[in-house]
């Protein structure tokens, strides 16, 4: 099932090649995306409608659903399903509410006061993937911190179902978030539409949300073409599981498959301290695949995945930090000894009873996370992602006496005499 490697036999170059994923060496994805961007930019709504018909096989009469449509669709799900979404909403809200902090002013010198204040990004675009799986949980993960941050306008895009609408779960999340419109656009065209704006779809200041390689590439490209920023490169999902002899092979297999069923380009990596455990996990994978509705998709992802045998947990952790996983699961009794060594990871799940799916849905942490090794330099989405931090300073007469000569000397040595004079005229 899983391709198998022994870490001690791999060179640094071998490891570098092994951890590479979602590359576009031939630029085929980029070329496709650039064509879509150009088309949306030049033809606007007409392009969005045509591309939706082409990729989603849905002919739209209008590009959005409004409040009345959303309320009607939300009534199609059961009360138990509504309650589950409400609990997830509440837990996500509780966790993210703790991220709102006011910084106190600092007097760096007598009479020189500096501080920062947060301001919400005014217009944000949330991309909710569709395709083979529709993700209402992603709407909560993005919409809750956007609401807490105080964003004035929240634009939501998601590809339409075959009915030309959205499902009731996404609709109910829109009600919870008090969002009264959703745009029925998916893929690269949705990102391009939010980046440049059309007659119907508003231009936003920052785009959020995971997606496939085409969505991820589009986000990166439009950030370079416009003044629109993005949350992070968040492409196909991935998990790395570190497991030792204390691990339950069935638990490990279940966690690997939970990622694998996202899509054929997802990756599930096992780093284990014994061949026996790897063999047991492979057996469990086959057993569990037999009963999964999305078994065909999961099999393709597993074929794109692998297992690595490490000498010990410390070596396993070193490999994990090189891989920099979106999701890291420590299925070992000794997880508390490993957490200080974690350098690169999007979100971490500790022990045998903490499945990654808990974080995907309802524990409270955010599941919009950096993939493809970007956990080396990016964090997951938080309230901070939806605000700007603006610095302020105030200098009184005493402050100008204290700091004035320092500024004059530094400006003069850099040859910027107008900078010096801006202080000198105030003395």
* Token representation of residue 107: 């007097």
Distance CA 321, CA 339 (A): 12
Given a cut of 90, whether residue 144 has pLDDT beyond it is yes
Considering the domain architecture, whether residues 214 and 276 belong to the same structural domain is answered as no
Given a cut of 70, whether residue 131 has pLDDT beyond it is no
pLDDT digit string, tens, across residues 110-129: 999 999 999 999 999 999 99
Indicate the residue among 231, 262, 286 that finishes a domain: 231
Distance CA 383, CA 67 (A): 26
- Catalytic center residues: 326-327
Sheet of 153-157, strands arranged across: 64-65, 182-183, 153-157, 123-127, 206-208, 229-230
Considering the domain architecture, whether residues 39 and 181 belong to the same structural domain is answered as yes
Q: Taking residues 219-230, report their average pLDDT.
A: 95
pLDDT above 90 covers a percentage of the chain that reads 94
In a domain, residue 56? The reply is yes
DSSP of 353-384, one letter per residue? Answer: T--HHHHHHTSSS------TTGGGT-PPP-GG
In a domain, residue 181? The reply is yes
Those residues whose C-beta lies under 8 Å from the C-beta of residue 248, and which sit 6 or more positions away, are 331, 352
Considering the domain architecture, whether residues 112 and 211 belong to the same structural domain is answered as yes
In a domain, residue 11? The reply is no
Sign of CA dihedral 77, 80, 84, 85: positive
Angle made by CA atoms 325, 330, 331, in degrees to the nearest 5: 135
Considering the domain architecture, whether residues 72 and 201 belong to the same structural domain is answered as yes
30-39, 44-53, 127-136, 181-190: which has the minimum mean pLDDT? Answer: 127-136
In a domain, residue 317? The reply is yes
Q: At 130, is the pLDDT very low, low, confident or very high (cuts 50, 70, 90)?
A: confident
In a domain, residue 150? The reply is yes
User: Is 107 labeled as ligand-binding?
Assistant: no
In a domain, residue 386? The reply is no
Three-state secondary structure call for residue 416: coil
Considering the domain architecture, whether residues 51 and 103 belong to the same structural domain is answered as yes
Given a cut of 70, whether residue 109 has pLDDT beyond it is yes
Angle made by CA atoms 231, 191, 240, in degrees to the nearest 5: 50
Number of domains in the chain: 3
**What pLDDT is attached to residue 241?**
98
Domain range spanning residue 292?
236-376
Distance CA 268, CA 289 (A): 14
Q: Model pTM?
A: 0.94
Indicate the residue among 175, 208, 231 that finishes a domain: 231
User: Is 262 labeled as ligand-binding?
Assistant: yes
**What pLDDT is attached to residue 25?**
75
Q: At 235, is the pLDDT very low, low, confident or very high (cuts 50, 70, 90)?
A: confident
Distance CA 294, CA 316 (A): 30
* Token representation of residue 125: 């675009």
Considering the domain architecture, whether residues 222 and 279 belong to the same structural domain is answered as no
> Comparing C-alpha atoms, which of 185, 156, 145, 168 is closest to residue 60?
185
What stretch of H or E contains 108? strand 106-109
Given a cut of 90, whether residue 151 has pLDDT beyond it is yes
**What pLDDT is attached to residue 416?**
98
In a domain, residue 321? The reply is yes
CATH number at residue 81: 3.40.50.1980
> Comparing C-alpha atoms, which of 155, 154, 143, 1 is closest to residue 63?
155
Considering the domain architecture, whether residues 117 and 195 belong to the same structural domain is answered as yes
Considering the domain architecture, whether residues 195 and 218 belong to the same structural domain is answered as yes
User: Is 331 labeled as ligand-binding?
Assistant: no
The DSSP output letter for 208 is E
Indicate the residue among 214, 231, 248 that finishes a domain: 231
User: Is 327 labeled as ligand-binding?
Assistant: yes
Distance CA 140, CA 208 (A): 12
Distance CA 323, CA 342 (A): 12
Distance CA 185, CA 127 (A): 9
Those residues whose C-beta lies under 8 Å from the C-beta of residue 330, and which sit 6 or more positions away, are 242, 338, 339, 348, 349, 350, 351
In a domain, residue 250? The reply is yes
Three-state secondary structure call for residue 122: coil
User: Is 99 labeled as ligand-binding?
Assistant: no
The torsion defined by the Cα of 393, 399, 404 and 410, in degrees rounded to 10, comes to -50
Q: Are strands 3-6 and 306-309 parallel, antiparallel or unpaired?
A: parallel
Considering the domain architecture, whether residues 131 and 112 belong to the same structural domain is answered as yes
User: Is 27 labeled as ligand-binding?
Assistant: no
Considering the domain architecture, whether residues 190 and 249 belong to the same structural domain is answered as no
Considering the domain architecture, whether residues 304 and 217 belong to the same structural domain is answered as no
Considering the domain architecture, whether residues 253 and 282 belong to the same structural domain is answered as yes
User: Is 96 labeled as ligand-binding?
Assistant: no
Given a cut of 90, whether residue 254 has pLDDT beyond it is yes
> Comparing C-alpha atoms, which of 95, 63, 99 is closest to residue 364?
95
21-35, 332-346, 402-416: which has the minimum mean pLDDT? Answer: 21-35
> Comparing C-alpha atoms, which of 149, 128, 177 is closest to residue 384?
149
Q: Taking residues 261-278, report their average pLDDT.
A: 95
Distance CA 130, CA 132 (A): 6
Distance CA 349, CA 369 (A): 14
Given a cut of 70, whether residue 222 has pLDDT beyond it is yes
Q: What is the mean pLDDT of the chain?
A: 96
Given a cut of 80, whether residue 146 has pLDDT beyond it is yes
Q: From residue 69, how far is each of 180, 233, 291 by CA, in Å?
A: 9, 32, 36
**What pLDDT is attached to residue 392?**
98
């Amino acid at each position: 099932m899983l391709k198998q490697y022994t870490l001690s036999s791999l060179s640094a170059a071998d490891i570098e090649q092994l951890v590479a994923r979602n590359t576009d060496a031939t630029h085929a994805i980029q070329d496709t995306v650039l064509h879509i961007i150009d088309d949306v930019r030049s033809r606007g709504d007409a392009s969005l409608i045509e591309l939706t018909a082409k990729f989603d096989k849905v002919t739209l009469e209008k590009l959005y659903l409004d409040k009345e449509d959303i309320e009607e669709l939300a009534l199609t799900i059961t009360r138990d399903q509504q309650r589950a979404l409400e609990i997830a909403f509440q837990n996500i809200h509780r966790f993210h509410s703790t991220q709102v902090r006011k910084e106190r002013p600092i007097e760096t010198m007598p009479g020189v006061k500096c501080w920062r204040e947060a301001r919400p990004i005014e217009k944000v675009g949330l991309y909710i993937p569709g395709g083979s799986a529709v993700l209402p949980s992603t709407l909560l993960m993005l919409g809750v911190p956007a609401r807490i941050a105080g964003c004035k306008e929240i634009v939501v895009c998601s590809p339409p179902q075959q009915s030309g609408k959205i499902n009731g779960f996404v609709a109910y999340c829109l009600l919870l978030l008090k969002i009264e419109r959703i745009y029925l656009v998916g893929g690269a065209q949705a990102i391009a539409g939010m980046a440049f704006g059309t007659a119907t779809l508003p231009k936003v200041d920052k785009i959020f949300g995971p997606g496939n390689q085409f969505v991820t590439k589009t986000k990166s490209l439009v950030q370079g073409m416009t003044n629109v920023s993005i949350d992070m490169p968040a492409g196909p999902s991935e998990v790395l599981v570190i497991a030792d002899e204390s691990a339950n092979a069935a638990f490990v297999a279940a966690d690997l498959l939970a990622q694998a069923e996202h899509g054929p380009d997802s990756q599930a990596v096992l780093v284990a301290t014994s061949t026996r455990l790897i063999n047991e996990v492979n057996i469990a994978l086959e057993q569990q695949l037999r009963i999964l509705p999305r078994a065909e998709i999961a099999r393709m992802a597993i074929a794109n995945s692998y297992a690595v045998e490490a000498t010990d947990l410390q070596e396993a952790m070193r490999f994990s930090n090189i891989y920099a996983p979106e999701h890291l699961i420590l299925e070992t009794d000794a997880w508390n000894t490993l957490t200080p060594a974690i350098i690169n990871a999007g979100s971490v799940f500790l022990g045998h009873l903490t499945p990654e799916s808990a974080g995907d849905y309802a524990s409270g942490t955010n599941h919009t996370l950096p993939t493809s090794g970007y956990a080396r330099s990016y964090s997951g989405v938080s309230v901070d992602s939806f605000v700007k931090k603006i610095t302020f300073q105030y200098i009184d007469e005493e402050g100008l006496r204290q700091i004035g000569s320092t500024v004059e000397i530094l400006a003069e040595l850099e040859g910027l005499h107008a900078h010096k004079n801006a202080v000198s005229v105030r003395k």
